[in-house]
Amino acid sequence: MSEPGRVRPLPAALLLTALVAYPFLDRWLQAQTVHAVTDAMIYVLLALGLNIVVGYAGLLDLGYAAFFAIGAYTMGLLNSPVLGSPLYGHAWSFWVVIWIAALVSAGLGVVIGAPTLRVRGDYLAIITLAFGEIIPVAIRNLGDITIDIGGWRPVERLNLTGGENGVNPVGRPHLPGVNFDTDFIPWYFLILVIGAGSLWAMNRMRDSRLGRAWMAIREDETAADCTGVNPVKTKLLAFALGASFAGFAGSFYAAKLQAITPGAFEFNVSIMLLCMVVLGGMGSLKGVILGGMLITLFDRILLAQMTFLVRWIGRSLGVATLASVDLTLWRWFFFGLGLVLAVKTILGVNSIVIYGLDEGALTKLFAVLAAGVFIALNYRGTKLTGRMSLRTMVTLASSSGIGSRSWASTIPWMWSSVETYTGTREYG
């Protein structure tokens, strides 16, 4: 039997081979999806950073796109200063600015979070929402700065951010023999390396003393405070580290896109990132990666293909409405629908657990399996289940419903079995 947490070499080797071979296979097939997949990986990196705040520390952040914007504009202002900026003509290297962007985002995360993190729940969500709305407005206003002191104007019509027009172009990275100008494959491998390093760092943080403190605050902040965890300091670190990953992603996004505007960092970006974390599973690295890839690829590739399909069906059937439909305009409807369905599924499973089910053996077996999957996905890695494999948890939870046991005794027996298996039975 393999040791818990140990990486199995064969699946890891196959995954690495697939990731390396994918862009070359895409070029050979002329599928032209590398650009969309690279963008998806940027949003996955953002979702992983938000997962630190929402998934690990349990803090509802509705303004995470603001740190994304700070990272992007740090890259734009230092790597490619706009005309009229005092930094114009003094461009910095991409490889230096990407680290500065992470530090600036982390610093602003601390500055903004320090006076606000004593509040909890909905109040914290409202404050972060306001912060996320303020940053794009501030970026627009910094495109035309005039300071008037009694008729004396030390600063007049200073263009720092480009205003509504944004920054264009943004400098690209430079490596000998690597073409970042017209080829998307180098961008793919660069974000792959950044993402792999970020994933390793997050995995280490999750299992560290700080990660345990985050999870303690998430479960019960008052109890964590009584056991010696400093809630304010711990939550500030969550905001700062989460913001630093957003700074990384924002700086990379600005350099790749070559143009940034305030409209690219509105509230809807924060909601999309939150959907990725919630749908993938809060606190789960693999789940967040899967949720981020699915949502972004659905937005960038699948919706466009579905639009062509629906229009073709409309032309074939002679239905003018279908022939002119554009499903990409309905992206937020589909995101919201997916989030509602996910929440409904979770609430449905919880209702089954609480109120029972007597609609027949087949339905009962399916319900127990669903409950087992729910428990496995939401409690894996906590003190209740330790590092039990997903397959073992689902099998253990599902097998409890087979036999003569009634549904009312199924869930307690299942929990008892999990606790006995992991040696974490709690009394009282």
pLDDT value of position 408: 40
pLDDT value of position 41: 94
pLDDT value of position 366: 47
Token pair of 240 as six digits:
């700062």
d(CA 388, CA 283): 16
Task: Determine the residue type at 395.
Answer: T
pLDDT value of position 202: 92
Contact 242, 109 (CB under 8 A): yes
d(CA 32, CA 301): 10
d(CA 241, CA 53): 9
All residues at 6 or more sequence positions from 390 whose CB lies less than 8 Å from its CB, including other chains:
376, 377, 380
pLDDT value of position 355: 43
d(CA 308, CA 109): 42
Q: Is 289 exposed, middle or buried (0-12, 13-18, 19+ CB in 10 A)?
A: buried
pTM of the model: 0.77
| SS3 state at 358 | coil
pLDDT value of position 411: 43
d(CA 68, CA 78): 16
pLDDT value of position 85: 62
d(CA 151, CA 111): 33
d(CA 63, CA 59): 12
Tell how strand 152-158 and strand 145-149 pair up: antiparallel
pLDDT value of position 348: 54
pLDDT value of position 301: 84
pLDDT value of position 40: 92
> Residues of the chain whose pLDDT is less than 70?
1-7, 81-89, 339, 342-428
